[in-house]
Chain A
Amino acid sequence: MYIPDYYEFGCPVNIVAGHDSLEKTADILAVPGSSQPMLLTDKGVRQAGLADIVLDAVKDRLDIKCVEDGVPPDSDLKVVRQLAQLYNQKGCDSIIAVGGGSVLDTAKGINMLVSEKTDDLMQFTGAGALKRKLRPLIAVPTTAGTGSEVTIAAVIADHEKNRKMIFGSHFLLPDAALIDSRMTLTLPAHIRAATAMDAMAHAVEACVMLSKNPLSDAHAKEAIRRIMKHLLPLIAEPENKEGRLSLALAAALAGIAFSNSLVGMVHALGHSVGSVCHVPHGNCMAILLSYGLEYNFHKTEERIADILFSLAGPEIYAKTPKSQPAQKSIDCIRKLNRDLFQATKGLHATCLKDLKDREQHPMVPKEKLPEIAQTALGDGMVFYNPEDVDYEDWLMVLEAAWEGVPLDRTKVRKG
């Protein structure tokens, strides 16, 4: 067990999980005396009927003041301001956020504005900017991936500056996370795969990065084990509600883990691929995770080896020679991506060049790689990466990930 000289750990979110946990919504909001929430979601979630399940679960018990589905996939400061105005106009006293990362992050942004009675979100960047509890916020995740329901962070784009703004405060944590298996029933297979790989990246990086600790490890390893057990079977059989609940819990476990141990270059690079080429975050994580492990291999081999048990199970762990478990861990992640590629009939890409948009155009043209590398230099997550990374390093990793070939570890500089 690795115990750092100093560490912090906490997640004061009330986690309510099950196959009908949404029915607890009114009771949870009643504790702080709220009964007039805004229900915030996006159009996809609403069209899938998920908002209706929530509305049905709270009918006759809550006075939903407005149902707003205008959150775009890549929410920004302007959207947050508009929705905060709506919240005030309608006389809401709390938020129920139903959706993936963008909806939950937007809800956190709205909550900052309406609780602090301002329209300037930028004053809450930086540590310690928020000083008091915000209004009640309930998170209902629908993607089993981001872990936003249990994280202190909110990522909100500033499209004018082509940057993603990261807000972080314990006061951004939702009061409760309602994890309900019904919420992920209709998730398309390739999105289920990508979002679960987002959770996998959270868990794996939490186990490998500099701020890992016994409590984050315990949460992360349980998350990895659950993803490995349930993800592929769920692609084939999404009706399995036990599997869906377990995967949603894995996302929350991974979210708790990485909020307390932080993440590194995989996320730094993923943010940059996302912001330059508008690739969904989960797809970036799925492709880049194994490359991040390879790049940091010489500094974290023991830690990468330690996750093999959770990735592959006790039998493979026991049969793997002592010199090979770290490489075996990386191989497991690559194999999972290949299996997902097969299971999703090619919709789950395994390298950057294979990422396609809805019109089947490549999302990451090779000529964009230098711009992505340049953007990654400014990402704060790289600060927590075990090995230093500069522009040339980023480019080398991106080129390998673009081609889908393993990183040549002999070319990684060892600082």
Chain B
Amino acid sequence: MNTDNFTFLCRSRSLFGKNALEHLPFELSGMGARKVFVLRDNASESSDSIRHLRPAFADSGMTLGLCPPPDQNSGTGTDILKDCYRTFTGKGYDSIIALGTGPITDLAKALNLAVSLGPEVFKRGIQPQDQAKSLLPFAYLPTRGGSGRESSCRACCNAQIFELPALAPDIVLTDERLMAADTKENIICSAFSALSVCCETFVFADNPMAKAYASAGISLLMEHLFPLLETENEWNARPAAVGNKYRRNLACIAHASAISGFLLANSTSIISFHLGNFIAENADTSGLTAGSAAAIFLPRVLEQFAGNTPALAQLLLPLGGQDAFSAVPPVQQAAAAIHILQNILNRFYQISFGAVPRSLGDAGIDKSAVARLQEKIQQEDIWTETGISGAGRDKIAAVLLRS
């Protein structure tokens, strides 16, 4: 074990499963909430989630204020935030629910910053004295898998990044009734992102609390991703909707994604996750999502940075389960873990008729493009926030080539 100190903080309370929604009023009222401002996105509209939300609060004595999904064409992000701020403060709301994933949770976090610390926070930024301040109660209710960042302590508002422990949701509530139909590409993107974060944390974090969360996240994904995507052979009819029948599986993936957000809040150096986002933003290909790219990089990152270590061998346990782990000789366990990760990619390549890439080559990124990306990694200071050193960048460049 590493002799350095480690810290772990997960402020969020997870509520998962059937009728989880009915527990929300009790949880929020326990934090002093009486009048709840609900922000939702278009996915929440398609899942008809409001139909479930209203009755859950019916006898709670609490008031729900339902904000319509923001119309991205009606103004800038700042305009939308200002509108929300005026409504929130004008009508005396005291807590926030974000119903949806991605931008709607960023909006909810930005609103919480504005109403709790004052709108000037967007000009002055987060200050040391803000670390101790409490924000208003905030619950995140996913309707899809999400990116994982929803449950982290980070918010992106008009290209500004804010990080504060109190920005993490107080409650992450995953109720299968809220799950919206989604495309298989989106589901895979969420699941692969979460898998990358959980696997890297499990192998590299010398932190048993983080490992425990990571282990649960990996197991959830391994049990629920394949049933969701293998049972319907409709890949060609994209975007294929995965509907009611598989809401439990979708909820488990959303749950694992939220767990990955808790882990992101405790680590800055999840290489495959950051590399996946970097490639999705910088590579000249439209078909490669950040999650798929992260999953391509994951086995190579583990090989490059963990080698044949006991930590990598242990990864076989959450990936394969106790029976599989016990059956494999210790010297083969690290390779078996990598094999499982590679096989996931291979299997999805097959069932998606090539839509899910196994490599950067499958995604249409040729060697010259890889060389340009390697150069960009070396030249730009994009890895500062991940804490990866110059030597680490060389290894990342090698990962890129091998992927």
**Which chain A residues have a beta carbon within 8 Å of chain B's beta carbons?**
1, 3-21, 24, 31-33, 128, 131-133, 170, 213-215, 217-219, 222, 226, 241-242, 245-246, 249, 252-253, 256, 306, 309, 314-315, 317-318
7 A–B contacts from the bound complex (CB under 8 Å): A8-B13, A10-B14, A214-B216, A215-B216, A218-B219, A242-B3, A317-B322
Question: Which residue of the partner chain, among A5, A222, A242, contacts B208 with CB atoms under 8 Å?
Answer: A222
Name B330's closest neighbour in chain A (CB-CB): A314
Q: Are B10 and A10 in contact (CB under 8 A)?
A: yes
Q: Are B17 and A215 in contact (CB under 8 A)?
A: no
Q: Are A11 and B7 in contact (CB under 8 A)?
A: no
Q: Closest Cβ of chain A: how far from B64's Cβ, in Å?
A: 20
Q: Within the assembled complex, what's the spacing in Å between the Cα atoms of A242 and B206?
A: 12
Segment among B18-26, B92-100, B372-380, B388-396 that sits at the interface with chain A: B18-26
Name A310's closest neighbour in chain B (CB-CB): B322
Q: Closest Cβ of chain A: how far from B139's Cβ, in Å?
A: 13
Tally of contact residues, B, Cβ under 8 A: 42
Given A17-B5, A317-B326, are A214 and B219 also a contact pair (CB < 8 Å)? yes
Name B176's closest neighbour in chain A (CB-CB): A5
Q: Are A16 and B5 in contact (CB under 8 A)?
A: yes
In order of increasing CB-CB distance, the 4 nearest A-B pairs are A18-B5, A10-B13, A6-B17, A318-B326
Name A21's closest neighbour in chain B (CB-CB): B5
Q: Closest Cβ of chain B: how far from A28's Cβ, in Å?
A: 9
Q: Within the assembled complex, what's the spacing in Å between the Cα atoms of A217 and B10?
A: 17
Question: Which residue of the partner chain, among B16, B32, B132, B219, contacts A1 with CB atoms under 8 Å?
Answer: B219
B9 within 8 A of A: yes
Name B318's closest neighbour in chain A (CB-CB): A218
Q: Which residues from B are CB-within-8-Å of A318? A: 326-327
Of A13, A32, A215, most buried by chain B (CB within 10 Å of CB) is: A215
Given A9-B14, A128-B30, A242-B1, are A215 and B6 also a contact pair (CB < 8 Å)? no
Q: Within the assembled complex, what's the spacing in Å between the Cα atoms of A309 and B9?
A: 28
Q: Are B3 and A12 in contact (CB under 8 A)?
A: no
Q: Closest Cβ of chain B: how far from A183's Cβ, in Å?
A: 14
B325 within 8 A of A: yes
Q: Are A20 and B5 in contact (CB under 8 A)?
A: yes
Q: Which residues from B are CB-within-8-Å of A256? A: 209, 212
Q: Closest Cβ of chain B: how far from A319's Cβ, in Å?
A: 9
Q: Which residues from B are CB-within-8-Å of A128? A: 26, 30
B211 within 8 A of A: yes
Q: Which residues from B are CB-within-8-Å of A218? A: 212-213, 215-216, 219
Given A5-B18, A19-B3, are A219 and B212 also a contact pair (CB < 8 Å)? yes
Name B214's closest neighbour in chain A (CB-CB): A218
Q: Are A24 and B5 in contact (CB under 8 A)?
A: yes
Q: Are A215 and B14 in contact (CB under 8 A)?
A: yes
Question: Which residue of the partner chain, among B3, B4, B30, B132, contacts A170 with CB atoms under 8 Å?
Answer: B30
Q: Which residues from A are CB-within-8-Å of B17? A: 3-7
Q: Within the assembled complex, what's the spacing in Å between the Cα atoms of A245 and B1?
A: 9
Q: Are A309 and B10 in contact (CB under 8 A)?
A: no
B347 within 8 A of A: no
B52 within 8 A of A: no
Which residues of B, 1-47, contact A by the 8 Å Cβ criterion? 1, 3-20, 23, 26, 30, 32
Q: Which residues from A are CB-within-8-Å of B19? A: 5-6
Question: Which residue of the partner chain, among B7, B16, B32, B132, contacts A15 with CB atoms under 8 Å?
Answer: B7
Q: Within the assembled complex, what's the spacing in Å between the Cα atoms of A13 and B12?
A: 10
Q: Which residues from A are CB-within-8-Å of B259? A: 215
B131 within 8 A of A: yes
Q: Within the assembled complex, what's the spacing in Å between the Cα atoms of A135 and B209?
A: 25
Q: Which residues from A are CB-within-8-Å of B208? A: 222, 226, 249, 253
Q: Which residues from B are CB-within-8-Å of A6? A: 15-20, 23
Q: Are A215 and B325 in contact (CB under 8 A)?
A: no
List 8 additional contacts besides A9-B13, A9-B14; criterion CB under 8 Å: A6-B15, A7-B17, A12-B9, A14-B9, A19-B5, A32-B132, A133-B134, A253-B209
